[in-house]
Amino acid sequence: MGQLRLTGCCLPDAPGAPASPPLLPPGRRRLLLLLLLIMLALWLCMVYSCAAAAFASPGLLAPGSSAPARRPHGPALSKLLLLRGPGSRGQLSPEQESSDDDDDEGDEDGLVPDSPSPISSFLNGSGTKRLPQALIIGVKKGGTRALLEFLRVHPDVRAVGAEPHFFDRNYERGLTWYRDLMPRTLDGQITMEKTPSYFVTKEAPARISAMSKGTKLIVVVRDPVTRAISDYTQTLSKKPDIPTFESLTFKNRTTGLIDTSWSAIQIGIYAKHLENWLLYFPIGQILFVSGERLISDPAGELGRVQDFLGLKRIITDKHFYFNKTKGFPCLKKAEGSSKPHCLGKTKGRTHPNIDQKVVQRLREFYRPFNMKFYQMTGQDFGWD
């Protein structure tokens, strides 16, 4: 018998054999493969973020050293959180951040953002580190921390968390070191930092101008008498054995001669300090923010700041609520957080009772300087 040739057909399945599953159409196979790749990418993002967070944790080796870095405790920890993202080799040491001149005190319950989500941390690793285009240069106890944290709500603002003190204490480290402290930014975003002592540092204007003549400067000012008492209150909380406010205010209490060498008094002579800045920057390049209005109308002052920085007005009334207990506005949702945040317990301290005769004498002392400051800035801050 001749051999059978099976051509153009196939053998039927054996009786009882399971049916072969139908193959997915090519289009659906590609879609499934794409979904798997997306899931893999998200998983890699989470792994990358966890590794970056672990690398930035305290207790790892300090930059350029062979010994473990000192583990900060409590307030010192938030001081070291310079960048919102992976750690930087340009971080400041706790010793550099502990000076009495600092306006920040590293409150654990302050407006320090919660840890960002893993995806946010991964995205923060992109972009470029740039020298700041805008600086909050003063003044101490004027409301600079509040302004910076309010601004950080804006998606186009990226800021260093702590005070770098580059133009007053760390200038010899160079611009490369300074730039390395900055967070990474994308095109269209503004890099910022705030160090209130710049405003009263004689060398700061020339140094900032040498970095960039186009740098935008922001000064938060407050009634100089109230500011001086607040300054003293902060120092008193750290050094309870210091002399009284009254004894520090006067060179001679009998004659009423004010001691202008005391920093708490000297900082509030705003007109004198501004003269130094106007040697290097035009008045239109400096924005003066009212510390009082920052409390009574935060959205209004933030609107002016956003306009000055060339930003879209995104921060509005809806971002704030007034905390009656603390006596100042708080953010409904801080940057990197889904929870409301207020400035910490060291902000808004109760001031000691000051002899009203001393307060009145200080008002008389500051009045001519205030009047000159109003003329220089074209703004009446209503302190008299």
Residues annotated in a binding site for 3'-phosphoadenylyl sulfate: 141-145, 222, 230, 347-351
Residue pair 342/330 in contact by the 8 Å Cβ criterion = yes
For residue 286, what are the contacts with CB-CB under 8 A and spacing of at least 6? 217, 218, 219, 274, 277
Residue 2 CA to its chain's centroid (Å):
92
Residue 80 CA to its chain's centroid (Å):
12
- Angle 162-165-169 (CA atoms, 0-180°, nearest 5)? 145
What residue type is assigned to position 23 of the chain? L
Task: Give the closest residue to 226 by CA, choosing from 325, 292, 150, 322.
Answer: 292
Distance CA 234, CA 241 (A): 13
Which H helix or E strand runs over 44? helix 26-55
For residue 327, what are the contacts with CB-CB under 8 A and spacing of at least 6? 295, 348
Residues in the chain: 384
Residue 169 CA to its chain's centroid (Å):
19
For residue 310, give Cα distances in angstroms to 188, 283, 306, 307, 327.
Answer: 10, 17, 6, 5, 30
Distance CA 160, CA 212 (A): 18
Task: Give the closest residue to 204 by CA, choosing from 99, 279, 105.
Answer: 279
Distance CA 368, CA 263 (A): 19
The answer to whether 238 is a known catalytic residue is no
DSSP 232-272: HHHHHHH-TTSPPHHHHHEEETTTTEE-TTSHHHHTT-HHH
The residue annotated as part of the active site, out of 141, 239, 272, 318, is 141
Q: Is 382 exposed, middle or buried (0-12, 13-18, 19+ CB in 10 A)?
A: exposed
Catalytic residues: 141
